[in-house]
Amino acid sequence: MAAESLTLVEAVAEAIHDEMALDESVILLGEDVGRSGGVFRATEGVYDAFGPERVIDTPLSETGIAGAAIGLAASGIRPIAEIQFSGFTYAGLEQLYTRAARLNARSRGQFSCQMVLRAPFGGGVRAPDLHGESMEAIFVHHPGFKVVVPSTPHDAKGLLTASIRDPDPVIFLEPKKIYRAFREEVPEESYAIPIGEAAVRREGSDVSIFTWGSMTRPTLSAAEAVAEDGIDAEVVDLRTLSPMDRETIVESFKKTGRAVVVHEAPRTGGLAGEITALLQEEALFYQKAPIERVTGWDAVYPLYDLEDFQLPNAARIEDAIKAVLDE
Amino acid sequence: MVRFPEEYDDCEQIIAPDGSYDTEAANALELETNELQELYGSMVQARALEKRGLTLQRQGKFHFWMECRGLEAAHVGVAAGLGDRDWMNTEWRQYGAHIQRGRPLEDILLFWLRGYEEWESDTIDEMESYERRMPHIVAVGTQVPQTVGLMWGRKLQGYDEVGLVGVGDGGASKGDFHAGLNFAGVLELPVVFVVFNNQWAISTPVERQTAAETYADRAIGYGFEGTLVDGNDVLAMYRATKRAVERARSGEPMLLEALTYRRGAHSSSDADDYRDDSDREAWRDRDPIERYEAFLLDQGIFDPDDFEAIREAADRRAKEAAERALDIAAEQSPTEVFDEVFANPPTYIDEQREALLELVSEHGEEAFRW
Ligand SMILES: Cc1ncc(C[n+]2csc(CCOP(=O)(O)OP(=O)(O)O)c2C)c(N)n1
Ligand SMILES: [Mg+2]
């Protein structure tokens, strides 16, 4: 099996390229996705390979991009729509909420909304306002969407491939902090990683840590650090947030009886609350200590140097692990 | 201030409010007698359906009704201008447009009873013309860029089809309107945009939506043409739409403004106590059905007895369709709540469906009704 060493952002471009080569109903639209290859180069080379009919630089309008993608999906095309930064998805939310997530239900399956909306997501690149948002919870909350967040190049390619093939609207959130943070061996041929399956990144028996996206790396570092103190932490990368892999989450917790949930998004109303509730419902009697949440603060996303204090880091995660083990 | 077509120099019209008409223009339409009759039948049927819908709403059998009185010519006219393979996306009160395309009446009514829609044909290829639509939108204006995407996709797949999308004078204030027209202009897509300017958005008059004299003028900002049409003249609406559809088929979108007036309330929940009766009276004198009757009489296509018979048949059909729709809606099962929420549903949907079923069997369906 031939493999190549790719960054996460290169893996995104490769998945798009491969699916467009395999299925001519797949097209790409968004702001600056064409000749320039996108502001993060996530669509590099795609325009050269498939030309202006299938790779379209649209006018600057997220309402237009989202609305057109919905109509394209209804027509039988498989659009991949890029929103330049996830914070600008706000401008297209009406289209997504009132239509993309409902088209299949309101037409009783006549028109599915097979589209992918990709957006660079999360903080950590010292960009201006609205460039650091973590808004996964708002999509998870609305029935009808699937929400996917890869944390490695290998997963980015396989999950994006699966997202493009999935018949439901998929919100594909790309952790831009780690777009180029590291390389990984990625199979050259096309492959799909099933939506809805978490990955256990580190097996352990003392505590389960649930996380996703760019938080996976500091979480793994924290797990290694506490290993020196004899704590055996399990790290579960959820990968798909809707539908969540409830089974893997619950099984891991039954094994360890302790949990920490780590996410960048603000604490109140964040998915850590959902995961905690799930554990209460499904595994209360396995619980040995209160569940800890390590999250972004309930702040309007702080910018530039202040970002350092907003994003959970390995130190905070270590503290939380120790806290649940101290009980 | 209420607007009238005759205040504009360039408002397209074939039949004047008094029933006199431009013979040359009418002949140039080359409509067969049966086609002219059909336009009448659709308008009358829309009005009959409304009468029935409102009655049932007052009896508590329907939840809600959006009113269409006075708008029938605009709705029927645009549908008549479309080809069989073309698409039509509307908001919710455009009953006449769907009737003209042959949509079964109970299917129209079922939208108000169940909130979702169903299609007979499995695939787009098999769809009858009345099925060539996306489900109704409720967030006004959102249908505009969606229709643009739809026709972009059909064009990419090699189909020679045009899409017509209707939006209200209120909905046209939204960003979706701008986004949609702008995309269509830039991408040269086969879309006809129709602003149904009925001069009211619930209680907000058109001069609170726009400081411009017309909506048609906006087209210039998107690089294509717009035209203002007397929305109560079914022949003028037909002609303008047909022309726009032909133009759109060659890749040039077009904007139509149908200037009309919503004589009914906004909906069955609207007290309609915010406007002058004199406006309504003035527009009643411009009734689209009566105006067309004058034309049909003069042309010898129908005589007054025919009108009566057509109205009676329309009432009967509306009544029967409502009965069928109510019967169909009565068949709903509680677990339909979960139907088609996802095309590829996660397992927890099954768990929730099971949970609801169990609750219903334990407590009985009555315990849930309120
Ligand atoms: C986005 C959105 N905002 C508000 C409403 C509530 N609403 C329903 S109809 C309506 C007025 C629409 O007026 P117009 O666009 O002129 O269409 P008309 O009702 O006259 O057909 C409003 C405000 C809605 N359905 N969608
Ligand atoms: Mg209106």
User: pLDDT, tens digit, for every residue of A109-157?
Assistant: 999 999 999 999 999 999 999 999 999 999 999 999 999 999 999 999 9
The DSSP letter of residue A265 is E
Residue A107 DSSP SS3: coil
**Statement: residue B3 has pLDDT above 70:** yes
CA A135 to chain centre: 10
Q: Does domain A3-187 have CATH number 3.40.50.970?
A: yes
Q: What's the domain count of chain B?
A: 2
Assigned fold of A199-326: Rossmann fold (3.40.50)
B243 is a catalytic site residue: no
Q: Which phi and psi angles does A200 have, rounded to 5°?
A: -85, 110
Let me know whether B227 and B357 are in one domain.
no
Q: How far apart are CA B117 and CA B110, in angstroms?
A: 7
Q: Report the pLDDT value the prediction gives residue B283, as an integer from 0 to 100.
A: 97
Quick one: tokens of A34?
Answer: 């064409």
B266 is a catalytic site residue: yes
Q: Relative to the alpha carbon of B265, which ligand is closest? A: 1
User: What CATH code is carried by the domain that includes residue B180?
Assistant: 3.40.50.970
Expressed as residue numbers, the domain containing B199 is 5-332
Quick one: tokens of A225?
Answer: 């650090």
Percentage of chain B exceeding pLDDT 90? 98
Q: How far apart are CA A308 and CA A302, in angstroms?
A: 9
Which ligand 1 atom is the nearest neighbour of the CA of A98? Answer: 1
**Would you say the C-alpha torsion B302, B303, B305, B307 has a positive or negative sign?**
positive
Quick one: tokens of B167?
Answer: 């939006």
Answer whether B352 touches A (CB < 8 Å). Answer: no
Cis peptide bond upstream of A243, omega within 30 = yes
First to last CA, chain B: 43
Instruction: Give the DSSP H/E element, type plus range, for residue B228.
Output: strand B225-230
Let me know whether B348 and B310 are in one domain.
no
Q: How far apart are CA A260 and CA A204, in angstroms?
A: 13
| Closest residue to B340, CB basis, from A72, A77, A105 | A105
B324 is a catalytic site residue: no
At A172-185, the pLDDT tens digits run 999 999 999 999 99
**Statement: residue A327 has pLDDT above 90:** no
Let me know whether B97 and B185 are in one domain.
yes
Has the ipTM of the complex gone over 0.90?
yes
Which ligand 1 atom is the nearest neighbour of the CA of B169? Answer: 16
Let me know whether B149 and B76 are in one domain.
yes
User: Ligand 1 in contact with B264 (CB < 6 A)?
Assistant: no
Three-state SS for A146-194 is EEECCCCHHHHHHHHHHHHHCCCCEEEEEEHHHCCCCCEEEECCCCCCC
- Extract the runs of DSSP E, i.e. beta strands, from chain A: 3-6, 26-30, 55-57, 78-82, 116-121, 146-148, 170-175, 184-187, 199-202, 207-211, 233-237, 240-242, 259-266, 292-296
Q: Report the pLDDT value the prediction gives residue A1, as an integer from 0 to 100.
A: 66
Residues 161-200 of B with CB under 8 A from A: 175-176, 178-180, 182-183, 186-187
Let me know whether B319 and B364 are in one domain.
no
Q: How far apart are CA A311 and CA B302, in angstroms?
A: 76
Let me know whether B164 and B302 are in one domain.
yes
At A55-94, the pLDDT tens digits run 999 999 999 999 999 999 999 999 999 999 999 999 999 9
**Statement: residue B75 has pLDDT above 80:** yes
Q: How far apart are CA B281 and CA B301, in angstroms?
A: 28
Contact at CB, B152 and A99, closer than 8 angstroms? no
Nearest CA in chain B to A98: B139
Query: A55 - beta bridge partners?
Result: A28
Contact B233, B287 (CB under 8 A): no
Answer whether A194 touches B (CB < 8 Å). Answer: no
The DSSP letter of residue A87 is G
pTM of the model: 0.97
Which chain A residues are Cβ-neighbours of B190 within 8 angstroms? none
Determine which of B87, B134, B173 to mutate to test the interface with A (most A C-beta atoms within 10 Å): B134
Neighbouring residues of B278: CB distance < 8 A, sequence distance ≥ 6: none
DSSP string, B124-178: TTT--GGG-SPPPPSSTTTHHHHHHHHHHHHHHTT----EEEEEETTGGGSHHHH
Residues 29-48 of A with CB under 8 A from B: none
Q: Report the pLDDT value the prediction gives residue B370, as an integer from 0 to 100.
A: 85
Let me know whether B191 and B168 are in one domain.
yes
Q: Report the pLDDT value the prediction gives residue A2, as an integer from 0 to 100.
A: 87
User: Ligand 1 in contact with B231 (CB < 6 A)?
Assistant: no
Let me know whether B297 and B353 are in one domain.
no
Which ligand 1 atom is the nearest neighbour of the CA of B262? Answer: 20
Q: What distance in Å separates residue B368's CA from the closest CA in chain A?
A: 22
Residue with the smallest CA separation from ligand 1 atom 11 is: B201
Let me know whether B317 and B278 are in one domain.
yes
Q: How far apart are CA B358 and CA B345, in angstroms?
A: 20
Closest by CA to B229, choosing from B52, B81, B41, is B81
Q: For chain A, what are the domain ranges?
A: 3-187, 199-326
User: Ligand 1 in contact with B200 (CB < 6 A)?
Assistant: yes
Let me know whether B307 and B370 are in one domain.
no
At B171-227, the pLDDT tens digits run 999 999 999 999 999 999 999 999 999 999 999 999 999 999 999 999 999 999 999
Angle (nearest 5°) at CA A108 between A104 and A110: 70
**Site to substitute for ligand 1 among B2, B140, B198, most atoms within 8 A of C-beta:** B140
